């Protein structure tokens, strides 16, 4: 026997007598999820049909994003920038959700102390009667946490956060890809086996996506992002994955000292923020199922030297180049020696083409120095390469919202 190919046998010294053989061994599974489980072939009609039995988060807008409320046993992954208010949102849901009375509401913190979480909870709860059912666990060990909860009746569980908690089985530090995966698997197993609705906070990278392996997003039932893309006081929760409802839904809140407040009419609030600038053009876009008013500003000024600049904030710069080309060809407005700057107010990021007409109008008016623009004018439409204006998806809803707000 030899560990590698040899022409001469090391035992009997004969030439050409060695034969190649493969020693295949079956690898042992390190997963603990399959222990005690057995596969079975079950007919669809044999399964008991049960309803999802959703319960409210206490925030009507968030319920809509989740598809009608929280599903027991579901896993919800919440990502967002540091300091945006993820912990505040989880604390508020912990207090206000209408899970069955008597079930514990548990907040697991790996970042803050128990006193810090309790202070925030008391600030938000005021006289909330559900506060007596809220409990805090300060730990960075998921095995320790789940062992503690095995004998408890838990209705809802908050994990803050995935990247700060480790597993005893892991050989890596918290936050590593392998460690994050192991922790997420254990949380998922607990939530599904005990039918506990679980929210998990996830850190985000500099690119704005949830840190860690993509596998985590595939494993959970719902993925939501908490954003502050409107103003410093407004927040938006956006759903990018939902096994129990529609994706793309958006919930808007106002951040106050007492926590998050649902905004009954976002567009009225936005119009107050915009303030009616005289050189701005208004348009409406669909953000999920919500028609949202946006304000478009443009500045056209003589270029000093060299190539003129084309800068865009809130819309794609390639789209701006295309619209400038359409304006020059069909409106005979020569912008080759002018700098063009376009801004969507309040930090909105426009990804559809429904604001094309408003952008073109703002550019042309700035070029022609139009200052007495009609105040109650709303422009909605996609501009084609032939210079025509096309309708946009759900045009009727956007027009109805514009008319409701007093625009023509």
Give the count of beta carbons closer than 10 Å to the beta carbon of residue 269. Answer: 18
| DSSP element (H, E) containing 117 | helix 114-125
Strands 382-383 and 389-390: antiparallel
Architecture of domain 268-404: 2-Layer Sandwich (3.30)
The full set of domain ranges for the chain reads 60-264, 268-404
Note whether 344 and 296 are within 8 A (CB): yes
194, two tokens: 């005990």
Per-residue pLDDT, 66: 94
Per-residue pLDDT, 222: 97
Q: Strand, coil or helix: what is 292?
A: strand
Note whether 342 and 334 are within 8 A (CB): no
The phi, psi pair for 163, rounded to 5°, reads -80, -10
Helix and strand totals (H; E) in the chain: 10, 15
Per-residue pLDDT, 28: 46
E strand segments, 170-329: 197-202, 222-227, 234-242, 250-256, 259-262, 281-287, 290-302, 310-313
C-alpha separations of 349 from 81, 164, 228 in Å: 16, 31, 11
Note whether 201 and 87 are within 8 A (CB): yes
C-alpha separations of 228 from 82, 232, 234, 253 in Å: 11, 7, 6, 10
Distance CA 196, CA 214 (A): 23
Closest CA to 227 of 211, 204, 246: 204
Per-residue pLDDT, 221: 96
225, two tokens: 């992002």
Taken in order 388, 392, 396, 399, the sign of the CA dihedral is negative
Per-residue pLDDT, 26: 47
User: Omega before 212 cis (within 30°)?
Assistant: no
343, two tokens: 């801004």
Per-residue pLDDT, 355: 95
The pTM score is 0.79
Sequential pLDDT tens for the chain (408 residues): 666 667 778 778 777 777 766 554 444 444 454 455 568 888 888 776 655 589 999 999 999 999 999 999 999 999 999 989 999 999 999 999 988 778 999 999 998 999 999 999 888 876 667 888 999 999 999 999 999 999 999 999 999 989 899 988 766 667 788 889 999 999 999 999 999 999 999 999 888 888 888 889 999 999 999 988 655 678 889 999 999 998 888 888 988 888 898 887 888 888 888 877 677 899 998 887 788 999 999 999 999 878 899 999 999 999 999 999 999 999 999 999 999 999 998 888 888 899 999 999 999 999 998 876 777 788 999 999 999 999 998 888 888 888 988 887
Question: The sheet that has 310-313: what strands, in order across it?
Answer: 281-287, 290-302, 338-344, 310-313
Rounded to 10 deg, the angle between the 114-125 and 86-96 helix axes is: 60
Q: Strand, coil or helix: what is 8?
A: strand
Per-residue pLDDT, 88: 93
CATH classification code of 60-264: 3.40.50.300
Owner of token pair 């559809």: 352
């Amino acid at each position: 026997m030899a560990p590698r190919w040899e022409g001469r046998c090391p035992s009997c010294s004969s030439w050409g007598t060695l034969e190649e053989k493969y020693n295949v061994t079956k690898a042992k599974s390190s997963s603990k999820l399959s222990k005690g489980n057995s596969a079975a072939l079950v007919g669809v009609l044999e399964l008991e049909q049960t309803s999802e039995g959703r319960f409210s988060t206490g925030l009507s807008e968030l319920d809509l994003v989740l598809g009608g409320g929280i599903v027991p046993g579901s896993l919800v992954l919440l990502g967002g920038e540091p300091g945006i208010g993820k912990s505040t949102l989880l604390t508020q849901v912990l207090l206000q959700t209408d899970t069955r009375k008597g079930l514990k509401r548990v907040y697991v913190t790996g970042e803050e102390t128990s006193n810090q979480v309790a202070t925030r909870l008391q600030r938000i709860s005021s006289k909330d009667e559900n506060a007596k059912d809220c409990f805090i666990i300060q730990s960075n060990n998921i095995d320790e946490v789940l062992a503690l909860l095995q004998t408890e009746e838990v209705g809802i569980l908050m994990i803050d956060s995935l990247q700060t908690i480790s597993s005893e089985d892991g050989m890596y530090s918290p936050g590593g890809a392998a460690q994050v995966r192991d922790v997420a698997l254990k949380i998922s197993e607990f939530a599904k086996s005990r039918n506990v609705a679980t929210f998990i906070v996830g850190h985000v990278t500099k690119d704005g996506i949830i840190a860690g392996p993509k596998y985590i997003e595939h494993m959970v039932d719902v993925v939501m992002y908490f954003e502050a893309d409107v103003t410093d006081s407004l927040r938006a929760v956006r759903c990018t994955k939902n096994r129990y409802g529609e994706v793309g839904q958006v919930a808007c809140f106002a951040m106050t000292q007492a926590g998050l407040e649902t905004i009954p009419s976002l567009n009225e609030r936005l119009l107050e923020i915009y303030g009616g600038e005289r050189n701005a053009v208004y348009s409406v876009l669909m953000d999920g199922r919500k028609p949202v008013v946006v304000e478009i500003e443009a500045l056209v000024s003589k270029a000093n030297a060299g190539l003129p600049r084309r800068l865009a904030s809130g819309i794609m710069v390639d789209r701006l180049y295309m619209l400038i080309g359409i304006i020059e060809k069909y409106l005979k407005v020569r912008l080759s020696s002018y700098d063009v700057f376009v801004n969507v107010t309040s930090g909105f990021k426009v990804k559809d083409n429904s604001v094309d007409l408003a952008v073109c109008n703002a550019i042309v008016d700035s070029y022609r120095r139009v200052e007495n623009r009609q105040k109650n004018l709303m422009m909605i439409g996609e501009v084609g390469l032939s210079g025509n204006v096309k309708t946009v998806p759900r045009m009727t809803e956007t027009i109805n919202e514009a008319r409701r707000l007093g625009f023509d």
